[in-house]
Structure 1
Amino acid sequence: MLFHVESERIDAHLSQSLCKSVRIGLDTDMAGNPDAFNPAELLLAALSACMIKGIERVVPILKFELRGVKVIVDGVRQDVPPKMDSIRYQIVVDTDETDRRIDLLHDNVKKYGTVYNTVAPGTDLAGAMRRA
């Protein structure tokens, strides 16, 4: 699979990324821009999207009954060298499935997530999946 994203600077306060037919505002202002995601927030958003997409992929295979999903992600950045030192997440599923089946769903998210498996080796990444 190949992916393509183009990003460009709009001005000293905002940049944008273009992918398919979508534009996303990027906070590239050194003082911060409350109307856009900064790069670290984009990484966390990509991780949460990966988790939700992974759930969507395996729900039909596992015949897992699901009413909704919420992912909460928090990251801690270290300054020297600059990197995400740790990421903690909670995946909250609205389901009547057993705890064992929820654990199975979580295992699939961790095993088959592209972004998850890209981030995990270089970051202290940990979290849990729980019932709503």
Structure 2
Amino acid sequence: MNNETKAALTFSVSAQRVDAHGSVAHCKQAEIHLDTDLAGRMDAFNPAELLMAALAACMIKGIERVTPILKFELRGVQVRLHGVRRDVPPSMASIEYEILVDTDEPDRRLTLLHDNVKKFGTVYNTVAPGTTLSGVLRRLPK
């Protein structure tokens, strides 16, 4: 079965305003509070932070997906992101990331893992064309 004949995955999320300070989004049995307050909120993700969190989740999920295939041994993964927003037009100008993998695998295998993250990540491949997206995957320091 090729990519064109496979059934497309679909996703559904709903969100609604709670009050002038925030909103809430629902998906499956999960809920996340959103910072939609014009003054900002410290206890919720704003839209740009949600985009970066989605990118981080995409990277980690991609690693979870390929490690059994590659027989890649790891103890943990951390993703750190830094985004820069431009005002005109309003968009993310750039996102830099650092993926830290707790592993004893050789460096060439780290490169292979990073290549898979970039090649097969849905959110990664959605964000990359419109944003300067750059980063590294490295071993977590001991």
What TM bracket, shorter-length normalisation?
A: over 0.9
1:112 matched to 2:120? The reply is yes
Pairing of 1:57-96 with structure 2 (within 5 A)? 57-96=65-104
How far 1:85 moved relative to its partner?
A: 0.1
Counterpart residue number, 1:8: 16
Paired residues in the alignment total 132
How far 1:116 moved relative to its partner?
A: 0.0
The percentage of aligned residue pairs carrying the same residue is 70
Which entry has the higher C-alpha Rg, 1 or 2?
Answer: 2
TM-score for the superposition, normalised by structure 2: 0.93
How far 1:78 moved relative to its partner?
A: 0.3
Runs of 4+ off more than 2 Å: none
Counterpart residue number, 1:100: 108
| Distance (whole Å) between structure 2 residues aligned to residue 81 and residue 88 of structure 1 | 20
Counterpart residue number, 1:125: 133
Where structure 2 has 5 or more consecutive residues not aligned to the other structure, the ranges are 1-8
| Distance (whole Å) between structure 1 residues aligned to residue 58 and residue 112 of structure 2 | 17
RMSD: 0.3
